Structures are given as C-alpha cells and as structure tokens.
Amino acid sequence: MKISVNSPCPCHSGKKYKKCCQPFHKGAKAANAQFLMRSRYAAFALGVSDYIIATTHPDNTDYTDDISSWKDSILQFCNNTNFEGLKILEFIDGENEAFVKFDALLSGTHFIEKSRFLKVDGRWFYESGVFE
C-alpha cells in the first residue's frame, strides 16, 4: 500500500509520514526501540516487508533464510489486516536491550504486547514479543 508523504503516519503518532516513519523505511537508524517499534507497525500497515525483515533479530522465531516465502507471509498478513490504532503503554529504554509495551488495534481486535528489542552494532532489532 502506498500513501502520500503528507498523509498521517500509519503509526498513529499524529505526525506526517515524511516526518515520522518514512526516514526509517528509507534506511535511517532508529534512535531507540520505541521509534523502531512504531516504524515496524507502520511498515506492516504499508506492506514494507523488506523493512520488517531487515529489523528482525535472527533469534526471532519468524526469522528465516527463505526470504522469498518470509516476504510472501508478511505481505499476506499486511494485505489481510487493517491497522487501526497504536498506543504506546510503556517504554523501558536500555543501552543494548529495551522493551516497548503497546496496545494495537488490528482489524477491530485489540491486543497488548510487550516487545523485546536488542541493539546490535548500533542498530535496534525486534527480538521477541509476549502477548498480555
């Protein structure tokens, strides 16, 4: 899915996409795990599978070397899901490990997840998440 750079960002920050998540989708490093989490949510909403793959830690259960089928799986999820809301409930920042607890509204269903992020060589990666 494509949106105008002047559209509201799909991460529900209230900012325009060009001033929020687009720079991350184009290669900018997220300064912290909360920015990475928001930009991953926006990437799912927009079907930016390459970004999801590039920001997933190798220890994540979804991680695979079969990039083609992984992309297909991500895009199938993106195309069949409405990304309707995101609220950050808690952010625990650390030097190399951080946690973001969020409430997401996907296709009319709320869920709360506490995500773990790891910093490797100066970049944040999504490592795992637990539903609460």
pLDDT of residue 70: 98
Query: Where would I find the H helices in 5-131?
Result: 22-25, 33-46, 49-54, 67-79
Share the mean pLDDT of the chain: 97
What is the domain count for the chain? 1
Spatial CA neighbour of 42 closest among 16, 68, 73? 16
Please name the helix (run of DSSP H) or strand (run of DSSP E) that holds residue 114, with its range, or none.
strand 109-120
> Is pLDDT at 80 greater than 80 in this prediction?
yes
Q: Half-sphere exposure (CA, 13 Å, Cβ side) for 48?
A: 22
pLDDT of residue 2: 80
Average pLDDT over residues 101-109: 97
The shares of helix, strand and coil residues in the chain, as percent rounded to the nearest 5, are 30, 35, 35
pLDDT of residue 94: 96
- CATH number of domain containing 40: 3.10.450.50
> Is pLDDT at 32 greater than 90 in this prediction?
yes
Range of the domain at 69: 17-131
Identify whether the C-beta of residue 49 lies closer than 8 Å to the C-beta of residue 56: no
> Does residue 10 lie in a domain region?
no
Q: How many other C-beta atoms are found inside a 10 Å radius of the C-beta of residue 73?
A: 14
> Is pLDDT at 106 greater than 80 in this prediction?
yes
**Core vs surface per residue 15-51: b (16+ CB within 10 A) or e:** eebeebbbebbeeeebeebbbbbbbbbbbbbbbbbeb
> Does residue 71 lie in a domain region?
yes
Average pLDDT over residues 122-132: 97
Average pLDDT over residues 47-66: 97
> Is pLDDT at 1 greater than 80 in this prediction?
no
Average pLDDT over residues 50-68: 97
The two tokens of residue 65 are 């070397």
The two tokens of residue 112 are 């709360």
> Is pLDDT at 23 greater than 80 in this prediction?
yes
